[in-house]
């Protein structure tokens, strides 16, 4: 924690740092726009397709940096407001992501090569519950988007048809549609952005793809990156710790221990971390 402390109880300088990140992202967007304009002029002069392609590329990168700047500005504004109130919890970065997608509920999940969730950050309780549901069931639009490296959209009864148990589960959370987009970095995929109850017009306009690109190559990776989303990401450490405890108790495999914890959380209808903490404390015996 910084030695500089604000009256709100938040570490001092958080808002200032966010405003600075926003400014740097805006500067990068301006530079990319300048590069695009240069190639556009050259294309007019000599008609070479190379310059047309480079102009298009620079325009896309400029848009990504501009979106990153807007996300940082939204986060900075929330931090500034929290500091002015003189108290309260630190705002969630994902709240601004959800707002940029025209909804209240959005989540980002970092996914490993084994399709397991490494970390999750959510804007609110429903979106976090939806991520837990995918983790427990090992099925859902986010996993499909990651596995197939393409956007997935489903709503209403189609959710239940495609992923039995998942559709009814998120309906119980008050959610009725999902747009899931892979977070691509070069030729790799590092996770998924899930947008819940998204406005169809924004989905059709490609807005979510722009936000996902900004998150992947601007927030999670880049000069001002923070994979922890400024304190908003849960690394699921308590679940992994509980798996270790249960493995020692049963002598079984890690996969079996995780399956037991997931099954109990699903049966009880409680967050995965709740069951994990009870296993660790000895309050719950799954043997």
Residue-by-residue pLDDT tens, the chain, 287 positions: 232 333 345 556 888 999 999 999 999 999 999 999 999 999 999 999 999 999 999 999 999 999 999 999 999 999 998 888 876 678 999 999 999 999 999 999 988 877 777 789 999 999 999 999 998 898 999 999 999 999 999 999 999 999 999 999 999 999 999 999 999 987 789 899 999 999 888 877 778 999 999 999 888 888 887 877 877 777 666 776 777 777 778 887 767 777 787 778 777 777 777 787 788 888 788 87
Tell which residue, 38, 253, 232, 4, has the closest CA to residue 122: 232
pTM summary value: 0.81
Predicted pLDDT of residue 68: 94
Cβ(123)–Cβ(193) under 8 Å?
Answer: no
**Interatomic CA distance for residues 150 and 51, integer angstroms:** 28
Cβ(280)–Cβ(241) under 8 Å?
Answer: yes
Predicted pLDDT of residue 5: 33
Question: Facing residues of 109 across strands?
Answer: 120, 192
Predicted pLDDT of residue 75: 94
Predicted pLDDT of residue 87: 64
Does domain 94-219 fall under CATH 3.40.640.10? My reply is no
Predicted pLDDT of residue 11: 58
Give residue limits of the domains in the chain: 14-90, 94-219, 237-281
Cβ(76)–Cβ(96) under 8 Å?
Answer: no
């Amino acid at each position: 924690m910084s030695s500089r402390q604000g009256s709100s109880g938040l570490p001092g300088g958080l808002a200032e740092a966010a405003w600075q990140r926003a400014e740097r992202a805006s500067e990068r967007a301006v530079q990319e726009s300048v590069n695009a304009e240069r190639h556009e002029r050259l294309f007019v002069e000599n008609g070479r397709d190379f310059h047309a392609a480079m102009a298009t590329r620079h325009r896309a990168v400029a848009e990504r940096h501009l979106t990153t700047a807007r996300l940082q500005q939204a986060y900075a504004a929330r931090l500034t407001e929290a500091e002015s109130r003189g108290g309260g919890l630190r705002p969630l970065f994902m709240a601004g992501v959800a707002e940029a997608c025209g909804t209240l509920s959005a989540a980002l999940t970092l996914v490993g090569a084994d399709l397991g969730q490494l970390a999750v950050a959510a804007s609110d309780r429903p979106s976090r519950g939806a991520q837990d549901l995918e983790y427990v069931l090992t099925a859902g639009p986010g996993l499909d988007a990651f596995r197939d490296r393409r956007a997935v959209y489903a709503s209403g009864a189609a959710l239940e048809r495609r992923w039995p148990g998942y559709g009814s589960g998120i309906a119980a959370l008050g959610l009725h549609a999902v747009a899931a987009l892979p977070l691509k970095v070069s030729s790799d995929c590092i996770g998924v952005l899930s947008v819940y109850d998204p406005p169809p017009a924004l989905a059709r306009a490609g807005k979510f793809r722009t936000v996902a690109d900004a998150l992947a190559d601007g927030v999670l990776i880049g000069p001002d990156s923070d994979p922890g989303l400024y304190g908003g990401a849960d690394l699921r450490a308590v679940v992994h710790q509980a798996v270790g405890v249960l493995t020692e108790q049963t002598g079984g495999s890690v996969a079996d221990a995780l399956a037991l914890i997931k099954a109990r959380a699903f049966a009880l209808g409680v967050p995965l971390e709740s069951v994990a903490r009870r296993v660790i404390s000895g309050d719950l015996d799954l043997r």
